Chains A and B, each alone.
Chain A
Amino acid sequence: MKKTVAIMAGAALILLFATVMLVFLPYVQLDSEPVPEGLEPYTAQELRGRQSYIANGCLYCHSQQPRDPGFSDADRMRGWGRASVPGDYAYDEPQLMGTMRTGPDLFNIGARQPSVAWQLLHLYDPRAVVPDSIMPPYRFLFEVVDEPLPEHTVVNVPPEFRQGHGVVVATQQALDLVAYLLALDHTYPADVLPEAEEAQE
């Protein structure tokens, strides 16, 4: 029994050590990072859109973390923006940094594609605007009506991409999601992490 306890206690201690290094210390350090002045909290609508972004798993193909030009210059050249800093994520709960770039980085998509009409059409059928895109269509975020009401946001879908007979209108969910995408604009200036130079080795 003594041996059993020793093994389990040793295992627990090592994990505790790793937790201090990888969870506690970064938390202390990142928590004290300044929030950039240009960063605004999300509105209620943007937060609803953010939930849609999570629910439909956008994060599995899109990152939200442009890399430092010293590490990989391509992000800057593609216009994806400056390298992100911890403070940029101050209002992100949970963070949606992502690990895949099957699609482009979205950290500054609101600055790159500020048109609501483009975003809605792209969500309805990505291939209507990007011919070879492999992004799934999100037609379930839209409705087809015979006669749009004044409060409807009509999406002008080219006939060859339209499904069903009638006029395509955006649901509130689609509008919220687009509001969130347009809020992804981190073009304000921010200080880089002091260790960033070190990280470029």
Chain B
Amino acid sequence: MTPTITFLLILTFIVSVGGLLVLVWSIATDQFRHGKRAARTIFAPGEVGQEEDPAHEDSPVEATGAPAEAEFEARRIADTSSRTPVLAWLASAVAWLAIGSIYGLIASLKMHLPEFLADDAVLTFGRVRPMHLNAVAYGWASMAGVGIAIWLVPRLFKTPLVGGRFATAGAITWNIGMVLGLAAIGAGFSDGEEWLEFPWQLDLFFVIGGALAAAPLLLTVRNRTVEHLYVTSWYLMAALVWFPVLFLIANIPNIFPGASGATVNWWFAHNVLGLWVTPIGVGIAYYLIPKILGKPIISYQLSLLGFWALALFYSQVGIHHLIGGPVPGWLVTLSIVHSVMMAVPVITVAINHHGTMMGSFGKLKTSPTLRFVWIGSLMYTVASLQGSIEALRSVNVITHFTHYTVGHAHLGLYGFLSFILFGAIYFAMPRLMAWEWPSRRLISLHFWLASGGILVYVVALSVGGWLQGLALIDGSVPFMDSVRLTIPYLEARSIGGAMMTAGHIVFAAHFLMVLLRRGQRRERPTLFRSVASEVAS
């Protein structure tokens, strides 16, 4: 044991000195000079001050003179250059969302109605639950994230997408992996670790599918016409490096037996959140919030600082899932420290997102995209700070092993990530299809079902989980009491879940209408047309 401690001390020293040198170097070479100008990279000349919101009925048409006009035309070409691959990823994602939420609802009902659908092995709780997780995490969140990322690439680099057919092939490969993976779990061939249930043989589909999706990004970046890479592309590129490495290492079979398997399991599972879906969600919000408002983010330097802080701190938080477990104390402490340090990147993102919103909160009333994206961003702040607190030993001793954690996970993956993805899809689809969302009512219905549902869900599980935790750590309370007291909260969770599922079905139907160009054709499609004279405001 002693050699390990010595090694850790030396390593800590070297890393600190290294970090200091990087800081000296970055100040000496003026790495923080990117300021206001870099933040304006995403706008065309003269576009600042113009709102852009295709999901908005009365969206003002952008046009401010000749230079902008050329750039808008280029953007229109860029936007449509990615149509086939983006639609392939997004449509699959929406389908997995609908399927995944139905699995989730079944699993939720089974928690308080154990006889519900109990006679079929395929539908037993222990199979439906991982099918829900994998369908929404790898089917919905990952596929929608990749789809939006591919759509943003030409916009960020201001050049048409190159190699889009690779991404289309990637979507097909990924979907094959999803279908086979879910079927395997249903048939009882799970790998047996949370977030890693798909049999490792099938993981190859995701590695290949992911690599194919990454190809156009790397091919397009070479043609970029922008001088500065906007912070969103930093997040997207990093996520692209991180996910394959994580997924590959964690899925190699038979090399991490026993207790070290648990550390690898949670190193992976929390990094799927921290280094895969979080950078995608935060990156998208970094693009959409300023773009919809027509205002650059308030502190660009801070956004880059936040990026590196996220990379550094988020990558080491995973072992807080094993507090009190049979793993070395130093390892748990390391993850707790990093969990608390996560407040740094979270606050930098909060300052930028919410600070940019200052003075524009009125737009939340009219813009569905902004409403989804900003609430998503707000939930990122809330869920992340909650996570930092939850990692403290004194809190974790109560919340660990309870439904509280499940509520927290949904606040993050749904309240934060899914809301941003919903907003992004509302933003992107009219551009891709040259067809507006047919019904403001349906968007509104989706919004209220989703927000009402997640509110009920998180409140119920947080309260119920906390009470369950208090009962669990009191050895004089009979165990069954900790089960009985959660029942009303589990029932409330099913209500919340049913609302969310209903919202997803509305959303999927609406999505399909745009995809098939159904509904009433808008007289004035809010695309990149220069019809300023007609608007005559």
Does A56 contact B397, Cβ atoms closer than 8 Å? no
B487 CB contact (under 8 Å) in A55, A61, A134: A134
Indicate if A158 sits at the interface (CB-CB under 8 A). no
Residues of A within 8 A of B308 (CB): 10, 14
Q: Encode A69-89 as 1/0 by CB contact (under 8 A) with B.
A: 001111111100001111011
Q: Are B324 and A67 in contact (CB under 8 A)?
A: yes
Sorting the interface of chain B by its residue count into under 10, 10 to 19, 20 to 34 or 35 or more gives: 35 or more
Docked Cα-Cα span, A194 to B242, in Å, equals: 34
Select which of B127, B188, B326, B479 is within 8 A of A83 by beta carbon. B326
Residue A136 at the chain B interface, CB threshold 8 Å: yes
- Chain A residues with CB under 8 Å of B332's CB are 199
Binary B-proximity of A111-128 (CB < 8 A = 1, otherwise 0): 000000000000000110
Contacts of B249 in A (CB 8 A): 19, 23
Q: Does the CB pair A7–B261 fall under 8 Å? A: no
A68 touches B258 (CB 8 A): no
A53 vs B140: C-alpha distance when bound (angstroms):
28
Could you say which of A55, A63, A98, A132 has the most chain B C-beta atoms within 10 Å of its C-beta?
A55
Set of chain B residues within 8 Å of A138, measured between Cβ atoms: 124
> A24-41, CB under 8 A of B: which get 1 and which 0?
011111110100000000
Which chain B residues (461-487) contact chain A, with CB distance < 8 Å? Answer: 472-476, 479-480, 482-484, 487
Task: Please measure, in the bound complex, the distance between the C-alpha atom of A130 and the C-alpha atom of B221, giving whole angstroms.
Answer: 62
Please report which residues of chain B, range 163-193, place their CB below 8 angstroms from some CB of chain A when the two chains form the complex.
Answer: 188-193
List the A residue with the shortest CB-CB distance to B315.
A18
Q: Does B445 contact A (CB under 8 A)?
A: no
- The interface stretch among B107-115, B204-212, B359-367, B500-508 is B107-115
Q: Within 8 Å of chain B (Cβ to Cβ): is A44?
A: no
Whether the Cβ atoms of A26 and B263 lie closer than 8 Å is: yes
B48 at the interface (CB under 8 A from A): no
Q: Are A99 and B321 interface neighbours, CB within 8 A?
A: yes
Query: Which B residues from 111 to 142 make CB contacts under 8 A with A?
Result: 111-112, 114-115, 118-121, 124-127, 129-130
Determine the chain A residues whose CB is within 8 A of the CB of B259 once the complex forms.
30, 33, 86, 89, 95
Q: How many residues of A sit at the interface, in one of the four size bands?
A: 35 or more
Of the residues A3, A99, A130, A193, contact of B194 by C-beta under 8 Å: A99
Contact A15 B254, beta carbon cutoff 8 Å: no
Q: Are B222 and A1 in contact (CB under 8 A)?
A: yes
Residues of the B chain whose Cβ atoms lie less than 8 Å from the Cβ of A90 = 257-258
Q: B302 interface residue, CB < 8 Å from A?
A: no
Assess A132 versus B401: contact at CB under 8 Å? Given A17-B315, A65-B326: no
Q: How far is the CB of B277 from chain A (nearest CB, A)?
A: 15
Whether the pair B260, A196 counts as a contact (CB closer than 8 A) is: no
Query: In the complex, A96 Cα to B193 Cα: how many Å?
Result: 7
A149 proximal to B (CB < 8 A): no
B119 contacts which chain A residues (CB < 8 A)?
139-140
User: Within the assembled complex, what's the spacing in Å between the Cα atoms of A185 and B129?
Assistant: 27
| Interface status of B318 (Cβ within 8 A of chain A) | yes
Residues of chain A contacted by B402 (CB below 8 angstroms): 100-101
B385-436 residues with Cβ-Cβ distance < 8 A to A are 393, 397, 400-403, 405
Q: Which residue of B lies closest to A70 (CB)?
A: B324
Complex: how many Å from CA A133 to CA B258? 30
Stretch at the interface among B71-79, B233-241, B281-289, B371-379: B233-241
Contact yes or no, A71 B237, CB < 8 A: no
Q: Considering the chains assembled together, what is the distance between the CA atoms of A25 and B334 in angstroms?
A: 12
Decide if A22 touches B393 in the complex (CB within 8 Å): no
By the criterion CB–CB under 8 Å, are B260 and A136 in contact? no
Q: Is the CB of A132 within 8 A of B326?
A: no
Chain A to chain B contacts (Cβ below 8 Å), 7 pairs: A22-B331, A23-B264, A71-B397, A100-B405, A132-B483, A134-B487, A136-B118
Chain B interfacial positions (CB closer than 8 Å to A):
1, 4, 7-8, 15, 110-112, 114-115, 118-121, 124-127, 129-130, 188-194, 221-222, 229, 234, 237-238, 240-242, 245-246, 249, 254, 256-265, 267, 271, 275, 308, 311-312, 315-316, 318-319, 321-322, 324-335, 393, 397, 400-403, 405, 472-476, 479-480, 482-484, 487
Known: A21-B316, A26-B327. 8 other contacts (CB 8 A): A15-B315, A22-B267, A22-B331, A23-B256, A65-B325, A72-B473, A89-B259, A99-B194
